[in-house]
Amino acid sequence: MRRTAGVYIHIPFCARKCGYCDFNAYSGYKEATKTRYVEALCREIESRAEPQTRVPTIFFGGGTPTELAASDLVRILQTVKATFCVDADAEITTEANPGDADPGYLADLRAGGGFNRLSFGVQTFDDRLLRSLDRLHSGNDARAAVQAAKAAGFANISLDLMFALPRQTMADWDRSLDTAFALDVPHLSMYALIIEEGTPFFARRERGRLPLTSEKTEAAMFARAMQRAVEAGYERYEVSNYARPGFQSRHNRIYWRNEEYFGFGAGAASYLGGARTMNERRPSRYIETVTTGGNLFVSEERLSPREAMGETMMMGLRMTEGVDLDAFARRFGVRAEETFAKEIARLSDGGFIEVAEGHLRLTERGLFVGSEVMLAFLP
């Protein structure tokens, strides 16, 4: 059968590494290295070409894709289009730093390349909080970026916002929400700050020098976002994602439905034919491996049917609609209600999940302890 898969492109460069970030992202690379990275990326895409494979979504993430020239992003996109069967109406997103979004750059992405969705890493509109996150843009840059994107013809714009930031009050969070709603974009992603091991923020917290919000305040901020976004006309369709009708992220739905995708670039993950692979992480080693024709995959894991089913449950519960139980049975040849009878009974009795309209989904109570419920389905 003809394969359908999303495409993810990783651009690992950032102007400066943020103190909370544990993504595969690096600052300080020279322009010449970036040029070699783009060459290597195009070569990797060509070497894994599948002209028959249907591609409904392409997502450029990072890092900061807009650290590259617009012409580089367009060239990478054209390489995907030349080597896969990209849908005429494919969703083509790039993440963008608000500080890079000048009108000419955005017009080149839109008109020259066919990008049709922008995801801005705004995080907050509060300059004091932005500085404390090591972000280089300002709240005004973010406002201007959205206006420039609209002027360049982008209708599908998403903003990433963060809450539970050090020293952030509920009033601060409310002001960021006010600004986001006033900008009238069709999609919002709103995540709590997570302190990951190995980051400068982690070290500061260990030394007692990171004034974090309490768990209670974090939960209240999550609830506030949910309530206010719905009042502003957004639908919550995933734990942390909100959209106006017709603007859900089609690319992210591929992940949440545990469907297939290619990942190109340093550290990018792919999920194809039941196997999960991971590319070489360091950009310099990635470039060298591609250039010398070596094996790019640093890990390759074939999932057992039980693991694949567990991941489908775990990811599917992130979506408000939950896991489609008939679709699950068609895909795996067994019913989730039988395979996971014990887990479903325990979590239903606790009031964390429910079955409604043929879907298994989180209840409001389950939403607030989300990851614990989802992890229950992994082997």
Interaction site with ligand SF4 (CB under 6 A): 14, 17-18, 21, 23, 25, 62-64, 121
Between residues 65 and 322, which has the closer beta carbon with respect to ligand SF4?
A: 65
Q: How far is the CB of 95 from ligand SF4 (least distance, A)?
A: 8
Q: Which is nearer to ligand SF4, 120 or 377 (CB)?
A: 120
What is the nearest approach in angstroms of ligand SF4 to the Cβ of residue 200?
A: 11
Q: Of 64 and 158, which CB lies nearer to ligand SF4 in the complex structure? A: 64
For the bound state, the minimum distance from the C-beta of residue 112 to ligand SF4, rounded and expressed in Å, comes to 24
Of the two residues 186 and 267, which places its CB atom closer to ligand SF4 in the complex?
Answer: 267
Please state the closest distance from residue 62 (CB atom) to ligand SF4, in A: 5
CB of 123 to ligand SF4, least distance (A): 8
Least distance to ligand SF4, CB of residue 133, Å: 8
Q: What share of the chain is helix, strand, coil (3-state, %, to 5)?
A: 45, 25, 30
Distance in Å, CB of 231 to ligand SF4, minimum: 29
Chain-centroid distance of CA 346 in Å reads 31
Shortest Å distance, C-beta 79 to ligand SF4: 23
Are 14 and 23 in contact by the 8 Å Cβ rule? The answer is no
Residues facing residue 302 across a β-bridge: 275
Task: Please report how close the Cβ of residue 229 comes to ligand SF4 at its closest, in angstroms.
Answer: 22
Residue from 156, 137, 147, 140 nearest 66 by CA = 137
Residue closest to 189 by CA, chosen among 64, 55, 89, 95: 95
Asked whether 113 and 73 are in contact (CB, 8 A), the reply is yes
Cα 50 from Cα 360, distance rounded (Å) = 35
Smallest distance from the beta carbon of 4 to ligand SF4, in angstroms? 28
Q: What is the three-class DSSP state of 310?
A: helix
Give the residue with the Cβ less far from ligand SF4, 25 or 266.
25
Distance in angstroms between the alpha carbons of the first and the last residue of the chain: 29
Q: Of the two residues 64 and 258, which places its CB atom closer to ligand SF4 in the complex?
A: 64
Tell me how far apart the alpha carbons of residues 247 and 259 are, in angstroms, rounded to a whole number: 19
Q: Where would I find the H helices in the chain?
A: 31-47, 70-83, 103-107, 127-132, 139-151, 170-183, 200-206, 215-231, 250-256, 283-291, 305-316, 325-332, 336-339, 341-349, 364-368, 370-375
CB-wise, 45 or 130, nearer to ligand SF4? 130
Tell the residue number behind the tokens 């091991």, with chain if given: 197
Strand order in the sheet with 275-279: 235-238, 241-243, 187-192, 156-163, 117-123, 84-96, 50-62, 6-11, 261-264, 269-272, 275-279, 297-302
| Cβ burial 21-56 (10 Å sphere, 16+ → b, else e) | bebbbbeebeeeebebbbebbbebbeeeeeeebebb
Measured from the CB atom, the residue of 63 and 186 that comes closer to ligand SF4 is: 63
Given the complex with ligand SF4, which of 14 and 129 has the nearer CB atom?
A: 14
Q: Residue 233 carries which side chain, given as an amino acid letter?
A: G
CA distance 194 to 178: 23
User: Which residue is closest to ligand SF4 by CB?
Assistant: 21
Return the number of the residue (17 or 48) whose C-beta is nearest ligand SF4. 17
